[in-house]
A and B are shown apart, each in its own frame.
Chain A
Amino acid sequence: MNVPARLRDLRWAGVQLSGVATVAMLVVAVAVNTALQPNFWGGYALTSNFATFVPLVAIAIGQTVVVLSGGLDLSLGAQVTLASVVAVQVVDGRLDRLPLAAAAALGVGMACGALNGLVVALLRLQPIVATFATSFVFSGLALVVLPTPGGSVPIEVTTAYRDSVLGVPVALLAIVGLALLWRVLRGHRVLRHVYAVGGDAEAAYASLVPVTRTRVWAYVLGGLFAALSALAVLANTGSGDPFVGNELTLASVAAVVLGGTALAGGRGGAGGSILGAMVLALVTNIVFFADVPTTYRQLVNGAVIILALALAGIPALQKRRPAA
């Protein structure tokens, strides 16, 4: 009976320590960005910044759930692609089909997650290679659904996405909504089991936690957030693209690590990953506005991200020393 209590302590310690580093990074990133980008706090810049954040934030939360369970999902980007092309084919530019399209995207995401979960939890394949293999399946299917970029999202959706309610950008509300969804999930038994399984699968098994089912659920939730990310991508770009998710996969892992979640599983949370995703996006912004010559932009970007990854690892360094 004292296992849950111990878990809560562990989680608290991890979140607090790494949370400080992530928040500090975000503050620095925002400060530098404010200094460099004219009108960073102006309505337009704020709206378009948040609009580009949402897809990465959503996929980062999904990756967090999977990583917490002790896994890794390299197919999340392909899932975003597949869900988005399915949704764009369903909606076909008509507003009345919007609920159907959203449902289709969520269904696709969760089905993909279920496949990953079965492969990893039931077949017991190693997550890195297994989800790499399923990413082929998903991106191939995406090409079947939509061979070339195209399709259109109702104009109302794209305008609403870049609108603001009482001065608050809709995209920011979307991020708040995603964070709330995470909080609701974290209160649920499934997420408690995810933390237990990721922390120590054998102890969880001995404590009658349904390990296999929990692992499957982690991937299904990952797929759910990938589908939400797909909807955000569509609302942001207004059309479908069978390659859109490719770069999101690895960025989602980076965001999770920046957020202080341990890749070994069991420690961390999506709050940090949301901030981590924003840091990643802001770094790109900063490099753009810092007048770095075009050819050096990517180099500076990469170096800053490695620096941030190193900083994010410092709290874990202190905690993990004996075990490593």
Chain B
Amino acid sequence: MSAPTVEAPRRVLAWRPGPVALAGAIAVALVIAGELLSPGFAGYGQLVNLMRVAAFLGVIAIGQTIVIIAGGGGVDLSVGKVATFAAIIGSRVMAGDDAGIVPAVALALLVSAGIGLVNGLCVTLLRIPPFVMTLGMIGVVQGLILAYTGGQASGRAAPALTSLVNGRVVGDLPGLLFLWLLLGLLAVWLLRRTTFGWNLFAVGANRTAAELTGVRVNRTLIVAYVLSATFAGLGGILLLGYTESVFLDLADQYMLPSVAAVVIGGTLLAGGIGGYAGTAVGAIVLTVLQGLLTTLDIGGAGRTVVNGIVLLVLLSLYGRQRRLRS
């Protein structure tokens, strides 16, 4: 009885590459497939552009990674709406003027963090399941957006923000990519080299054990939700720099892809295992897939279907749960 239970997972692990490497291989395979199907897909400019689009999902998914690692069914469905709200606040406060950037970004991130704080407090103190709490928060943030804008978004991105996001900085690469790299390193450092990061993994792996070893579980969770909303807000601001003007559902569609990127990157939805490097690659995979489907001439409906099927295939490569029998 005990021999197969011990051996089976080991044998699986022996030949299976790490999730990050696997996700990276998939990304490369998708790019090669794109080049074969439509020559020019793997061109330098095109790839840089794809990476730039991936950066928004990548930044928003930083927070999602943190919340999911915290475990206990942790997930933040409100990231898309929070990003939208941050972009709306940012554009209205900066109003196309460089002088307004600092107060605009500060206010947008502060509001985002506040939303995250409410999420965290309700999840920890009121024990509302994270899924439904952040789901309910979508409605509230949508309400805040309508109340703040009166149904009409206004303002513009400041030129400095736009040039930071779109402008070429080094080697013809847009500044956004360096920013993403910086934020990614920050996320990895936060998760791997800080007390908060260690506490987070401990809470995600076994909440009771973490509590018994003296980890302040609730505080760690609240910080996780605050960080999630803050990174979402940051993603929204960056997206604003890209689009220059806002609309009321600017970043809404990032909600579930951010979760998918985390899962494709090898972070367990159950919590306690994972990291940001995988998520970043996951974001790239999803974006390359989108780009590939856009270049194929199969129409919007067919594209949606193929997108779903490919997503399923990607997930089944390693997003699988363990067998009951083991």
Contact = CB atoms under 8 A, between A and B. Distances in A.
B302 interface: yes
Interface residues of A, number: 52
Interface in A117-156: 119, 123-126, 128-130, 132-141, 143-144, 147
A134 B308 contact: yes
Contacts of A65: none
A27 B308 CA distance: 42
A254 B132 contact: yes
A253 B132 contact: yes
B312 A119 contact: yes
B260 interface: yes
B319 interface: yes
A309 B143 contact: no
A301 B139 contact: yes
Contacts of B144: 299
Contact of B135 (A143, A201, A253, A296): A253
A302 B139 contact: yes
A253 B304 contact: no
B304 A140 contact: yes
Main secondary structure of the interface of A (DSSP, over half): helix
Interface footprint category on B: 35 or more
A128 B311 CA distance: 13
B127 A254 contact: no
A11 interface: no
A125 B314 CA distance: 10
Interface in A71-95: 72, 74
Given A253-B135, A254-B132, A305-B136, A132 B256 contact: yes
Contacts of A313: 126-129
Interface in B276-326: 300-309, 311-312, 315-316, 319-325
B206 to A, nearest CB: 13
Nearest to B306: A140
B307 A140 contact: yes
Nearest to B143: A299
12 contacts: A119-B312, A128-B259, A138-B308, A140-B303, A144-B302, A253-B135, A295-B146, A298-B147, A299-B140, A300-B143, A302-B143, A306-B128
A-B complex: 5 closest residue pairs judged by Cβ atoms: A299-B143, A136-B308, A302-B139, A140-B304, A140-B305
Interface of B: 72-73, 75, 77, 122, 126-129, 131-133, 135-144, 146-147, 150-151, 207, 256, 259-260, 263, 269, 300-309, 311-312, 315-316, 319-325
